[in-house]
Amino acid sequence: MGAEKLNNGFKRGFPSQWLERQSEPKIGKDEKGYFIYTISENTKVYFEEFYQFLEKIEQKCQLDLDSLEEKLSQTPPTRSESLAYYRARKIILDLLLKNIFSFYSDSSNLGVIMTPWCFGTVMLEKVEIYKDRIARGEANDPNVGDFPFYVLGYIDEIYKNTLLELFEFPEKAFSVRWQYTELLKRYSKVLSNVTASLQSILFLAKNQNQDT
């Protein structure tokens, strides 16, 4: 099985030893290993394949970040456009690494196990949300530097292609992003309906008790 951890030391949230002794009905096993049907796509995903995917992306991301750090240190301040591009890409990679660590090490939520395409969609949305936070001045990111307008412009220009490149996805991979967001909306609506129903039941029960 290997080390079952990322290069920085983060360990898998659901390691092979846990899978071997678990009794979770949502988890199945066949000749390829342990799997789960994902919440967002109802697709069979093998734990080993998903973790290996994150391990591969972490390695690529770290190599890219090391290269960017070198370029940033060697680029003179007068080359503001180049610096803005490097910083924009670094913001995207930093955010990606942060979420890789989070998804990889999560041991409390089976929902973090998903297809690579779905993870790519999640990251696409997270970059867009973070970009909007920077634009509103709500994110104190040191990578923004002295030219936030240029950095934001480059983020907007390159974030999709950067993720596609790192994940080695075809462009159509992000065409199904609605699956994830719509699922969250449906769950939110269902929970709201359940809450409203419970409140109605409690209200009726309370009135009946008062009448008696």
**Chain centre distance of CA 41:** 15
- What are 89-99's pLDDT values in tens digits? 999 999 999 99
Of 171, 45, 182, the residue nearest 111 (C-alpha): 45
* pLDDT greater than 60 at residue 12: yes
| pTM to 2 decimal places | 0.80
Phi and psi for 45 in degrees, rounded to 5?
-130, 130
- What are 102-127's pLDDT values in tens digits? 999 999 999 899 999 889 989 999 99
Report the pLDDT averaged over residues 141-156.
88
Residues 88 and 152: their CA atoms lie apart, in Å, by: 7
Helix (H) / strand (E) containing 46: strand 44-46
Report the pLDDT averaged over residues 185-201.
49
Residues 2 and 146: their CA atoms lie apart, in Å, by: 44
Say how many C-beta atoms besides its own lie within 10 A of residue 42's C-beta: 9
pLDDT of residue 19: 94
- Concatenate the DSSP letters of all residues of 105-152 into one string: H--S-GGG---HHHHHHHHHHHHHHHHHHHHTT----TTSTT-HHHHH
- What are 31-42's pLDDT values in tens digits? 999 999 987 778
Query: Which is higher by pLDDT, 53 or 189?
Result: 53
Residues 34 and 28: their CA atoms lie apart, in Å, by: 6
